[in-house]
Amino acid sequence: MKRSYKLGLVVVPIVLGIGAVAALNAWSSGPAEGTIHTGIPSTATKPAEQAAPLTIQAAFFSAKLPTGFIQKDASPPTSQVSVRVLATNTSSRQQIGISGGALPKEGLIGVADYNLRVKDTASYKRATSTSLPSGAVAFEDTAGSMLTVFWPHGGNYVSLTVSGSPGSLRDLNELLSKILQNWQWK
């Protein structure tokens, strides 16, 4: 009797398990009826492009960005940077970044972003452009997707960065020229 009891303890769960698997298989293989809800449909919308050039006003400069750029961020001042603006153009995938503040007593070498570009020659190289204002220094990244100008003026400086797709330096130089043509120091 003990032997049949032990055999029953093993066989009954196995038979029940096989039966449950067979029932689940039959149920899941049958036709489905009803409606499947997957949530609320979402749509992505692009912001409307600027109809007029975007004007950036800071304590020590003003600038007009070309048509099509939308301001995405204007970060509050920090102890080292008094202005920080990011603008994007959805149709050309270009970006413009402007930051600036009081020029350190060491000059541009005291600006961390400038110092990085001077020292990291594997990632950045000096750029030459005929459209650079007097005293400005430009760097391009080695991928050809970013151009940054550091421009001291009086006791202030700005770092103006334009970026786009790799290999787009020609377009970035044109964009930079348009921005610099509409730049006013205060």
Question: Which pLDDT tens digit goes with each residue over 2-18?
Answer: 666 666 666 776 777 78
Task: Report how far residue 35's alpha carbon sits from residue 112's, in angstroms, rounded to the nearest whole number.
Answer: 59
Number of structural domains (the chain) is 1
Task: Report how far residue 177's alpha carbon sits from residue 164's, in angstroms, rounded to the nearest whole number.
Answer: 15
* Element of type H or E holding 147: strand 146-153
* Model pLDDT, residue 21: 65
* Model pLDDT, residue 32: 52
Is 136 part of any domain?
A: yes
Is 132 part of any domain?
A: yes
* Model pLDDT, residue 79: 62
Q: 92 is written with which tokens?
A: 């050309």
Q: Which residue stretches of the chain have pLDDT < 70?
A: 1-10, 13, 20-51, 76-80, 130
What CATH number corresponds to the domain at position 178?
3.40.1000.10
pTM: 0.69
**Exposed/middle/buried for residue 99 (C-beta within 10 Å: 0-12, 13-18, 19+):** buried
**Percent residues over pLDDT 70 in the chain:** 72
Question: Which pLDDT tens digit goes with each residue over 93-103?
Answer: 899 999 999 99
Q: Residues 61, 183: contact at Cβ < 8 Å?
A: yes
